[in-house]
Structures are given as C-alpha cells and as structure tokens.
Amino acid sequence: MNQLLNFLGENIQMIYIIILSVFVGVEVIGKVPAVLHTPLMSGANAIHGVVIVGAIIVMLNTPTDNILALALGFVAVVLGTLNVVGGFAVTDRMLEMFKKKK
C-alpha cells in the first residue's frame, strides 16, 4: 500500500498528463466524418511512432561494448522510423487525393 502511494506520489505529474491527454484525445476527434476515418487512423498510427524516442534513449544509454544491446537498439530504431516515416507518408498520400477535388 505504502509502495503504491509512493509510486503515485512520485509520478503525480505524469498521471496528470495521462488523464488530461485521454480527454484531449477523445475531444479532439469528436465528430469525424466517416470519409476521414482511414486517414485519421493512419495519422494516429504515425503519431504513436513517437515510441522511436524511447528506442533512441535506449541506445544512448547503452555502453558501446554491449554489442547485442546495440544491435537490438538499432533494430528498434529502424522499426520506429518505419512507423513514423511510413505512417506520415501514407497519410499524406491519402489526403493528397482528397485535396485534388476541391
């Protein structure tokens, strides 16, 4: 119990961010027309590619003599980049097609 309280107390700012972000996420896409469901999903998909920041941090914290960890980190950064770059590029391509019509 004490441990849990300590954990919550030490991370209270993070917990604020989480709760507020949940509401922002819900509000922000409130009434999206069905037409935009696919691009929106694709755009959100690109945004969670932010996990790449974690992969970079792991690599920065790894000592250079730990080859296995560096290799794993390398793979993680490649995968994260694929998510980010591919995600944003695909979304842009989809939306480009909508634009032409206006």
Partner 1 sequence: MEIKYILDIIYLIASVTFVLGLKMLSHPDTARKGNIYAAFGMTLAIIGTIFLYNHSDGHTTREPIKIILILAAIGVGTVAGWFTAMRVQMTKMPELVSLFNGMGGACAAIIGLMEYEHNLGQTGALTTIIAGLIIGSVSFSGSIIAFLKLNETMKKPIRIPKYNILNTVVMIALVLFGAYIVYAQPEHLFLVVLLFVFALVYGVLFVIPIGGADMPVVISLLNSFTGLAAAFGGFLYQNQVMLTGGILVGSAGTILTLAMCKAMNRPLSNVIFGAFGGGSAAGSGAEVNGSIKDISISDTAILMNYAKKVVIVPGYGLAVAQAQHVIHELELLLEERGVEVVYAIHPVAGRMPGHMNVLLAESNVSYDKLVEMEDINPQFATTDVVLVVGANDVVNPAAKTDPSSPIFGMPILDVENATNIIVNKRSMNAGYAGIDNLLFYQPKTSMLFGDAKGVLAKLVTELKQM
Q: Is 57 in the site for partner 1 (CB under 8 A)?
A: yes
Q: Is 1 in the site for partner 1 (CB under 8 A)?
A: no
The size of the interface with partner 1 (CB under 8 A), counted in residues, is 83
Please, what is the minimum distance in Å from the beta carbon of residue 62 to partner 1?
Answer: 7
Q: Is 34 in the site for partner 1 (CB under 8 A)?
A: yes
Dihedral of CA atoms 52, 58, 59, 64 in degrees, nearest 10, equals -170
Q: Is 51 in the site for partner 1 (CB under 8 A)?
A: yes
Binding-residue pattern over the window 69 to 98 for partner 1, x denoting contact by CB under 8 A = xx-xxxxxxxxxxxxxxxxxxxxxxxxxxx
Q: What is the DSSP string of 30-75?
A: TT--GGGHHHHHHHHHHHGGGHHHHHHHHHHHS-TT-HHHHHHHHH
Q: Is 3 in the site for partner 1 (CB under 8 A)?
A: yes
